Amino acid sequence: MLIFFFVCLLFLTANSGASGETLNPAAGAFMQWSSASIERLADSRVKLILALESSSPGVLLGNPVVFYRLTRLEHFNETTAPEGAGIHSLSWERSTAGLKIVIFSGEYGRASIFARVEIGGRLHYAQTAFNLYGGSGAGAFPEPNRLPQAPDWPEFLVSSDGPLYWPQTGQEFTLKIERSGGTSAKNLAVWDNGRQVAEVKPGAAGFRYRPEHDPILDRAGDLASKPLVFVVHSGDGDSVAFTLFVHRSRRAGWNLSAGLWVFAAGALVSGMLAWLTRRKFGICA
């Protein structure tokens, strides 16, 4: 029996080293903003709490650097010229899953948040954006936190055929990468709840993706959202990721066919009533 045990042990050891490879939890990793909450304070500022974590749990997030760009909003949620934006560095604290970042802002503007960490010697960039409707005019941070210019990092530019201030399933989103380095020709992976749900090839306008309606999100309520993560990897293992928190579609539950039938039936009944009324009072032609 003892001899059999040692034979099995030698067999397992030989197989584990046969390929000459070891499992690397950092391989294929990327950074994602996993949760977000916005709270309005008594002084009309808003408090944004973000959680940043790796797609590979348990890896060490080395040398984190976080900043955000606040661009003032005009009417209809349109941003002003980017050169007028304020660039602010952000402090962070480690949490069980990754990093926790808190932003206080009294400005009426759009905040684009950027982070960079090192995992296994590779650089990973994470980005997201929110509209912050602060009303105090108290600004975001004191001057020591203000940066003369933004770091020269890769950046996703996001547009949509629907409202970006309230992104929803069913909208089409177009993403382009600026200062992309070796990631520009790569495909875009789309992750939803820990699963890759799509791979998008680049087109002339960039990457285009329309998230499907989510029945679970539809039942969760008007304010519920979920993170969709758009990721591009370089050949060296670096990554650039944009997390978009999408809400349920406001039109997901609409039944267009039923609505048209109801409209047609209503128009028919109204027409019949008008004709009968005119006939009753003898005003028919």
Average pLDDT over residues 255-276: 63
Q: Is residue 3 part of a domain?
A: no
Q: Which of 12-21, 125-134, 261-270 has the lowest mean pLDDT?
A: 12-21
The share of the chain scoring above pLDDT 70, in percent, equals 72
Q: How far apart are CA 128 and CA 141, in angstroms?
A: 19
pLDDT score at 208: 96
Same domain, 150 and 285: no
Q: What's the domain count of the chain?
A: 2
196 and 266 belong to one structural domain: no
pLDDT of 203-252, one tens digit each?
A: 988 999 999 999 999 998 888 999 999 999 987 789 999 999 999 986 65
Buried b (16+ CB within 10 A) or exposed e, 253-267: eeeeeeeeeeeeeee
Q: Identify whether residues 147 and 284 lie together within a single domain.
A: no
63 domain residue, yes or no: yes
Does 188 share its domain with 216?
yes
What's the pLDDT at 235? 76
Q: Is the residue at 242 inside a domain? A: yes
Handedness of CA 77, 82, 86, 91 (dihedral sign): positive
Residue 24 lies inside a defined structural domain of this protein: no
Q: Is residue 231 part of a domain?
A: yes
| Residue 75 domain flag | yes
Own/partner long-range contacts of 37-46 (Cβ < 8 Å, ≥24 apart): 38/130, 38/132, 41/104, 43/106, 43/136, 43/138, 44/106, 44/134, 44/135, 44/136, 45/104, 45/105, 45/106, 45/134, 45/135, 45/136, 45/138, 46/104, 46/105, 46/106, 46/132, 46/133, 46/134
Whether the pLDDT of residue 254 is over 70: the answer is no
| Residues 157 and 205 reside in one and the same domain | yes
Are residues 81 and 40 part of one domain? yes
68 found inside a domain: yes
Report the Cα 9 to chain-centroid distance in Å: 47
Question: Is 126's pLDDT higher than 80?
Answer: yes
Mean pLDDT in residue range 135-161: 78
* 148 in the same domain as 271: no
Q: What's the average model confidence in pLDDT over 29-49?
A: 92
Residues 262 and 238 in one domain: no
Same structural domain, 54 and 174: yes
Q: Is 53 in the same domain as 177?
A: yes
Is residue 210 located within the same domain as residue 285? no
Shared domain for 91 and 177, answered yes or no, is yes
The mean per-residue pLDDT over the stretch 123-128 comes to 96
What's the rounded mean pLDDT across residues 141-150? Answer: 70
Is residue 111 in some structural domain?
yes
Q: Is the pLDDT of residue 22 over 80?
A: no
Residues 6+ apart with CB under 8 A from 116: 64, 65, 66, 123, 124, 125, 126, 151, 153
Tokens 């539950």 appear where?
Answer: 253
Beta bridge partners of 100: 51, 93
pLDDT of amino acid 5: 46
Q: Which domain holds residue 129?
A: 31-247
pLDDT at residue number 186:
79
